[in-house]
Each structure stands twice: as structure tokens, then as C-alpha cells.
Structure 1
Amino acid sequence: MKKFSFKLFCLFLMYVLMLPCTGLTASATEADAEGILSSIITFNKESEFIDFIPASLTHRVASVTDITINFVGMSSFIDFSKAGFDVDETLVKYESSNVDVAVGYEGRILATGVGTATITISYEDKVQIINVTVLDEIPESLIRSLETSTLDSLKSTSSESSQRLAIAQKAMDMVYLRWKPTKNVRGWKNDKTFYAGTTYTGIPYSQTWYQVDDNEFMSAMDKDDFYSNYTSGGKIMPKYGNDCSAFVAITWGLPYQGDNRYNTWKFEEDFEPLDSYADLQKGDAVVTNTSGNHMFLITINFETPPSGSDYNTSYVVCYEQTPYQAQLTFWTYDQLSKNNYIPISKF
């Protein structure tokens, strides 16, 4: 059983027990769930950014850094400017001792599950070892309450609010998709295996021509080629799934298959940027084409987080398709800024 903090459990239990007796409206219920979430989330300032100070392989003592990430879906980012030499970040390699706890790629260490893992970062003849401890996970039921509490009452309207909720609902369906392969499926770059008979959560990350949503993915599991090895650009990956831009395009109702599909460049070209991260609302997105090519969807924006913890910072709660499968993530404004993310909106 996954570790689950007593404080988080008590706060969520209070929320669940309160609903039947308060007569809360749908919108009030959502606001209350959002308040519970905001009171739970805290960031570890020391782990938000990590200096890359590796040791040479010729040295007997390795460079070791210990970090704690408070919640699954939070990230630590590597600052290569402190290395003391120029680093070509495209040549940096990452290896995780447990991809179900933490993964490393493109200057990012992402918490994927509760537990401990070791990330080994290597560049030329230099190595830095990051020991990662992930403490907790936000329960799916709390996140679902945020997205579903007002959706039913707004489905019959054509308001912008209902459209935003529908976008978030679709993203949530892909993030919390349950699927159980009958044969092993090789994950992104063959770095993870989805084992037969095991239930997984989240549609897999893939960069094939077979970009699909959650319903199409479940239907594809009955196809003969679902378990076939697929290689694109020299990378092994699941044949069916979606990448970051297809994930957002699906939720926004845009083309996500074929030559006319939306990629990160097309998103940046076709949608005007918002003035600031503070303007991001449910159903909006952020995109970068300078710190790699990546984007993801916003569901909650905590521009002014509650006070009371040692470290308070503005942040967003996101639905993100990223190796090895879609998941709920959290980004601070500083992390967005330092990775050159541009806020955009469909509306």
C-alpha cells in the first residue's frame, strides 16, 4: 500500500464527511475541494532547483545529492549553469533505479510515485547521483471532485465555463484511465515495461502516428497490432497512446492525428499568448519550444497560495502527458518561467 500522510488523510476525510450534511451547491463543493487541495500542497524550496555539480568518473567519491519531493507530480529541475563548464544538455543521460517513483529527462526529475529512487545523471566522464524521496500523493477522488462537481449542472449550456470544465474532464479521463495489458507493452524508449496482468493508470506516452484518446486507446487494445513493438526515430515506444501536444489537442477539440495534427509549434503559432501566468484558467495551457518542445494543460491556478507554511509560492495544477504516461503535475511560476513556458488559451 502506498504511503499516505495522516494530515492529508484527515483533511480529505473532513471534506468527504462534510458533503452530505452541508447542502453545498455544485460550485460551492468545487470551491471547498479546491480549498482542501490548497491547504495540502506545499513545495520544498531546496528541491525546486538543483545545481549540477558532478564528479569525474576518475574520482573515487561520487557527487551525491539528496532531495525530498513532497508530492507525486512535483518536479526538481537541474541547473546546469553551476557546473563550472559548458554543458550540451542534449547529451546528458539519465537513469532511474525505479521509474515508478522518479524519472529524469531534459533537466527534470519528476516524481511518479511514493517511495525512493536514485537518478544517475551523466555527462561525458562526469556523474552526479540524486537520491530522491517522494513523500505523498494527492488522492484521485479529491481531483475528480474538483472537475465533476460543477460539470453536470453546466453540460446543457454553451458557456465558456462549461467548455473549460469539459476540457479538464477529458484530460482527467486520460490521466486516470485504468488499463490492463494481456501482454507486456514496451514503454517510451524501452525504459519502462507495462507488464501483462498489471493495472496501470494513465494513457501511455508515445510519438507515433497512432495518437489516440482514452476511448480510442481502450478500443485499440483489442487490435492485433496493439502489442507489436513500434520504433520511431530509433526509439521504441507503445504503438498507441499520445504525446504532449496531442494530449492538449484532444482536450481542445483540435486535429491530433495525421499531417494536419497540432504540434507544439502550431499551438504557439495559432494561439495568442496570455499576458502572464496569473491569467491562466482551467482549460488553458502552457507551451515551450525553446527548452525542448513540450506543453501541458492547466486545471487550477493558485496565484496567491495560502500562508502558513515555510515556503509559499504561486503554482499551477496540471494534466500533463509526459514519459511514461499521463499524470497530474504541479509547476511553480518560477519553474514555468525558467523553462520558457508561454501561457496560451483556446478562448
Structure 2
Amino acid sequence: MTVVVERAGALDDGLREEGFRAGIKLLCVVRALLKKIRRRVMVGDSVLVSGIDWTDKRGMIEDVLQRRSETSDPPVANVDLLLVLFSLDRPRLDPVILNRFLVEAESTGIPLAVVLNKADLVTQEMKDSWEKRLTEWGYKPYICSVETGMGLHDMAPLLEDKTSVVFGPSGVGKSSLINFLRGRSCLPPDDIQALDEVDDEVIRVNEVSYRTGSGRHTTRHVSLLHLPFRGAMLADTPGFSYPNLSMVTSNSLASLFPEVRARLEKSEFSCGFADCQHISEPDCVVGGDWERYPYYVSLWNEVHKREEHEKAVFGTKQENDMRFKVRESGVKQAEPMLELKKHRRTSRRQVRQMVDSDVREQRDEQRELDELENADAAV
């Protein structure tokens, strides 16, 4: 795992003589205690590193500082902005899939912006239609084309002083967009290597299948990249086709639709029931005369069905396997709790998170081993 030094010298007298070491990249392993308490290190985390060997540029991650935000899929910490990226054509924009991505993005609580790429492949009428449609949904879309550069310069102020995540399905032009924003060319996959942690390489791009109209996964893992704008960083993430909405509940779903929020704010009255789900209940002030209402009902039924299944399988009791203490320095640190009694049930949400965490931890460990082997081979 690669860590970029942000501050150094406060705890090491030798560093004061040698100067500031910000920007140096260290190849680090994760302390075993962090793995025990399932404190996963994510891209974008601020971490404390000890035992640094400045010659070989290696160290050990001792602790993960408190996050101001995070996304679970893709896993990125301290995110300021989500760029929900879709293409107007090749692959053609599907409102059902777009709606699902928007709900997933809204569930993070992180500000988002909708970007529609490949505007050069469609008519002006279609561009105007989607702009009007998304505006009615509560979003102001950025319509652009990486191929021609149309509309991309308007995005610079949006990205300044932020850590942003590009979030969308495969084949919509995420890698091409990032290359453009970083001032690099979009070369075919046979001409360059895929980007790892090296900031001056060009990200590999792939063509969209003419037969299926879908894209191939170009990016294999999450990478945090610098942009040539003031304080801007961008996370390149693997594309995926279907967000699982694992953090969405039937009670929270309505709040993830800007149309519902707007109607509740404008209404002089409240719904007839305090727990109104806005699905045909009497005296509901939201109603069903808005375009995405059928999508909302469909998602509510899906989430409710999942909750009923999980309740039957796992029960409702929630537990945790760690506790948090605030040290003298003011840093909030996690500690392992005593092992849970066997008769107690683990919460269904924790079971999902544990499974996801185990899979990702295995991938991270394998990647760390590969990086160490490559570093030793280079020496």
C-alpha cells in the first residue's frame, strides 16, 4: 500500500535537519491490530506511519485518523464530491440505471454532480431533453464531450480544493475524462500501461462493444490522482453495472430523492402519518405525479423485501466489535472489545460489512505482497 507523506519532522529530530519530506511516497504495511479490529485503510485516508525507513521508503501504518466522509462502493475516504458520470450514447443512457446510481450516491450524504459524456454522439434535441429531465429530477447536469472538449472547462471550478470520486458504470468514459482533466492524451490500450500509483502516466482506455453497447472494465483498482487545479484530487475507480444499495433502507429511501424533499419543504402541511412511506397512503403530501415515482416504488419494494429477508435470517439485534477512545492528543482511536457471547446475534448490516471487508482485505494483502515483491525485484 502506497502512502504519500503530508507532514513529517514533528516526531523525528533528524528530519528537522534534513528538511521537509512532504510528497515522498512510502510503501507501507498495515499494523495487525488494525486488521483485528477491522479498521480498513482506504484510499484517501489520513494515516499515522511509524518505523519509517527513508532509504528504502518503507513504513508501517499505525492508525487511521477520523474520516469526514467515506463511500463503500467504491471504497474511498474523505470525499468532498461525487461525479456521477454517464454517457449519452455508446452505451446509451438508461434512466433506470441512472436512477439507481443517483440513489446510491445520495445515500452517502456527499454532494454530487451529474456529468453526461459523449455529447458529440447525439443530437442537440437529445441533449436538451436530458438537461430538462435531470433538472426536473433536482440535478443540474454538466453535458460534455471528452472527444471534442465541449463543456469540460466549466468543470474546473467545481473540482478546485476538493477530493472527488468519479462514479459510474463501465464504458462511459471515466478514464478518458480523467486523462483530459489531467492534461493527458487518451491512448489506446496497446500503447501504454494501466495507471497504478505513478502520477505521470496516462490511464489506459478501452473501446465500447458495438455488439452489446456496454463497456469493458479498464480500471482495476482505486487510485487517487492529482489534478492541475488548485487543491484538486480525483479518485479513479473501477466501473460497475449495478449498485447494490446496501446502505439504503425503506425509511431513508424517500429522503434520497430531491423531488420528495422539495415537495415536503414546499407543503404547508405534513403527511397524515408520521412514518409515511409516500406510497399511496392517505393524506400524503408528496403524491405520485412526478416522473421518478414508479422508480421510487420499485426501489422501495426491493429494499423492503431485502429488509424482511435479513430480519428473518439475522434478527434485529445490532452489535459492534470495537470501541473508541479519545487520547490525550485528541485523536479518536479504535480498540478491540471483548469477544461477543455466542448466543448473541450479529446485526445483518455488520454481516454484510464483514463479508465485504474480508474480501477487500484479501485483495489488499495480495496487492501489498505484489508491491513488496516488485520493490525487491527493482532493488
Q: Assess same fold via TM > 0.5.
A: no
Q: TM-score, normalised by structure 1?
A: 0.24
Instruction: Identify the structure with the greater strand proportion.
Output: 1
Larger Rg computed on CA atoms: 2
